[in-house]
Structure 1
């Protein structure tokens, strides 16, 4: 009897190793294949699943009522991106037979998730954590919490904060796990866009992604990592890095439509912006002179008051400056002033973009974040930007190059339009879609 038990144990261990190899084939595909072969990954993985499943099913008669066998069969089917009813049955039976089977609960949770049953998935991951604290349950819970519907924005913020905490705990359990670092990066991206775009959170997200690639070579081949990081890069106006990341995500997963779409949109946006700056929004010379003739310091409005409090907290009136005299970075104590000559609300926009021309007929592009859909400026409006944050953009991507200066404004509330401050309704927190799941 002991001999039989020993043999069964050895066979089950071999099955587990077979399935582990299958996961390794999927997750480390690009360590043995070139990026040019990315289009074959899905069919290659499907073929490996078939081969592994066949080997498992050869032993099914002896082990069909064994929790460990049911777990490995469920895990094997779980490698596929879609829900499998057979996997759900196997895994449900496995955890009934052996309620302490943490891997069983985790894999069952992933199946519920693929099926769209987020509550069921959450219960499985929570159940697994009650058996034992483990990184897989923690990071899966982190992802599910960000996707669960919330009653209101406060409840959603609470879920996102909890999700960051779960991802942090997963990293603490194993600091050498690239997937846990990557999921922590995603949690920070979500927190960044949920809780008022604190630059510190954006840095924490980028650090987590970098750490993910550092500790695990396969992580640099996660298309979602490049896509999500590019979403952040684009918001931070690191356009060259964003384009590079979208392009890399598209190469790693040719079947995923969003990365090439985002890359194309961003390129079109940059083309449009540079063209409009060069031709000053196509405003005719005579009309432009007429517009600029009534540009006067009275448009400074509240900025001319000695009590004016700048976005940086400085108190005192601001001195109007021409666009050419502005330095890169923050221009303290001064204001940029001009007439709007074009505006742009591009597809998938993150910023309301407009161009303004100053008294010297110099044109610059202004990118305003967190604007309500109803907010905008019209051609001919006078805009004053207190303490402008100026940036030189020099971008080369594939065969295209762009070079222009821009001003970043984090909220429409910071602008003075036609001598007036903007009302609170003009601002809304930016929401940006990123790929939340690592599966």
Structure 2
């Protein structure tokens, strides 16, 4: 009997049905993982990976009982190897067997888009960014699908995290566009919405701390939460928590970090973020409460020593333009007279009595005292590294926006007011306008994203 005849006799019976059955079981395995918290209490979070691995092991055994070279015909081999590789690839750790199967699959059928995407994710887990990117681009050549687009969006940001500001800005813009395209292909896919939110969040740090960008980020996250698969991912809560922190919605930020910890108990990053945020809030409250620990006599001298000449261009009788409003006259106001929210037509003058340092330097936070010795915090965004205010500086803030932060829980209690300044060039420091050279050109943050 010829070799070809021997190979034919080795073929499985009903191969299409066998592969369809394996495909269905694999789909059920991924749904078990992705919808875990829809079907199980969050208290089982620590057992999730173990339970997924147990089911994976059973299915892998079924795949491994089949010899793809001898028992699967050429016409079905690429599909079989893709499914087998996808089964190996379900875990968060790199599995070389996944790369091996998926590489064979795309060689046998270069048009198999799903295999290209899965291969890209396998390379990514091994931190082989070049090959991962090449794989996703290989899929794009055949079909501009949402998985490839959103993966390339993430990779672009990772590649350009430390790049030249101009290159990084261009890469971030393209990253946002790719994520938008992914969302447009399926507006119900929460994972794509989550990636778009992360792209906006990265734009907020690396390009400009524009509140409008942060709002776009939050809208994307809101859409992501409508998808049960996306809302079971700890990274969504973590990244939303980061965005909330810079929107200064601290209580909600802490809630999101804490829930992220519950979904992934071994992931330390959100736990560290909670610790840092609590430390920051506690420091701000303490600095305001103690008035910078400055002695009463000196504090009184600082309060009384404020010269109205430091109002500079914001002094009486000088017209200003704020947005679409023209010929605006500013009226001097004390800190106590300010209302929560916007204070149009008002200007405050105060002296810096201390600052709070953070790892990211965003925002630059300091505490001021006015002539009545009232204190508030000031948070300034887009202020370049190495810039800022020091104790004794006289700060003039036109049309201040006042926020009142108040919260009490088992982990932290805070109650303080803050003036938020999005553009440092609106400030006067010691009577002089903050220069354009002090406007921040780039900030960087790292966000966790699942593959």
Task: Give the TM-score range, shorter chain.
Answer: over 0.9
Would you say the 8 A contact 2:257–2:271 is kept in 1?
yes
Alpha-carbon distance change, 425 to 308 in structure 1, aligned in 2, over 3 angstroms? farther
1:17 alignment counterpart: 24
How far apart, in 2, do the equivalents of 1:342 and 1:271 lie?
Answer: 14
Q: Give the Cα separation in 2 of the matches to 1:173 and 1:248.
A: 30
Q: Secondary structure at the match of 1:431?
A: coil
Alignment of 1:244-393 (within 5 A): 244-304=255-315, 306-307=317-318, 309=320, 312=323, 314-315=326-327, 318-393=330-405
**Larger CA deviation: 261-270 vs 137-146:** 137-146
- Other structure's SS at 1:322 match: coil
After superposition, give the CA deviation of every residue in 1:108-150 in whole Å (9 maximum; x if it has no partner): 1111222222232222112112212322222222222222237
In structure 2, which of residues 31, 43, 46 is the aligned counterpart of residue 39 of structure 1?
46
Which residue pairs with 2:250 in the alignment?
239
2:62 pairs with 1:51: no
Shift of 1:232: 0.8
- Higher mean alpha-carbon deviation, 64-73 vs 89-98, is at 64-73
- What does residue range 51-130 of structure 1 map to in structure 2 within 5 Å? 51-60=58-67, 62-63=71-72, 66-130=77-141
Q: CA-to-partner distance for each residue in 1:211-270, whole Å, 9 max, x for gaps?
A: 1222x2232221111111111111111111111111111111111111011111111111
* Contact kept in structure 2, 1:311 and 1:386, CA below 8 Å: no
**What is the rounded CA distance, in whole Å, between the counterparts of 2:12 and 2:96 in structure 1?**
30
Pairing partner for 2:221 from 191, 209, 231:
209
Q: Output the CA distance in 2 between the equivalents of 1:392 and 1:365.
A: 10
Distance in 2 between residues matched to 1:243 and 1:378, nearest whole Å: 29
Q: Is the 8 A contact 2:331 2:346 kept in 1?
A: yes
Residues 205 and 445 in structure 2, CA contact (< 8 A), matched pair in contact too? no
Any idea what SS the aligned residue of 1:325 has? coil
Measured against aligned partners, the alpha-carbon deviations of 1:133-190 in whole angstroms (never above 9, x if no partner) come to 3222222222222222375222222222222222222222222222122222222222
**Structure 2 counterparts to residues 130-149 of structure 1, below 5 A:** 130-149=141-160
Distance 1:68 1:88 in 2: 14
2:208 and 2:358 map into 1 onto residues whose CA distance is 22
Per-residue deviation, 1:367: 0.8
Q: Distance in 1 between matches of 2:387 and 2:319?
A: 24
SS state at 1:323 partner:
coil
Seen in structure 2, the aligned counterparts of structure 1 residues 334 and 310 have a Cα distance that, compared at 3 Å, is: farther
Q: Offset of 1:339 from its aligned partner?
A: 1.5
Measured after TM superposition, the shift of residue 429 of structure 1 is 4.1
Distance 1:110 1:31 in 2: 25
Q: Which runs of 5+ in 1 are unaligned?
A: none
- State how far apart, in whole Å, the 1-side matches of 2:276 and 2:211 are: 25
**Which sits farther off after the overlay, 272-281 or 187-196?**
187-196
Of 333-342 and 159-168, more deviation after overlay is shown by 159-168
Q: Find the aligned partners of 1:438 and 1:132 in 2 and give their Cα distance.
A: 22
Could you say if the C-alpha distance between residues 260 and 432 of structure 1 is closer, same or farther in structure 2, counting changes exceeding 3 Å?
Answer: farther
Matched residue of 2:229: which SS? helix
Shift of 1:43: 2.4
Distance 1:284 1:387 in 2: 30
For the residues of structure 1 that align with 2:304 and 2:118, how far apart are their CA atoms? 69
* TM-score, structure 1 normalization: 0.93
TM-score (norm 2): 0.90
Selected match of 2:207 from 195, 202, 205: 195
User: Contact 1:265 / 1:348 at 8 angstroms: preserved in 2?
Assistant: no
**Could you report, residue by residue, the CA deviation over 1:307-330 in whole angstroms, capped at 9, with x for unpaired residues?**
564654645553221011112222
Deviation sequence 1:313-371 (CA, Å, 0-9, x none): 64555322101111222212221111211111133442111111111111111111122
**What SS does structure 2 have at the residue aligned with 1:155?**
helix
Do the aligned partners of 1:171 and 1:177 also contact (CA within 8 Å) in 2?
A: yes
Residue segments in structure 2 that go unaligned for 5+ positions in a row: 1-7
Q: What is the CA RMSD across the aligned residues, in angstroms? A: 2.3
SS in 2 for 1:20: helix
Deviation at 1:433, TM superposition (A): 2.1
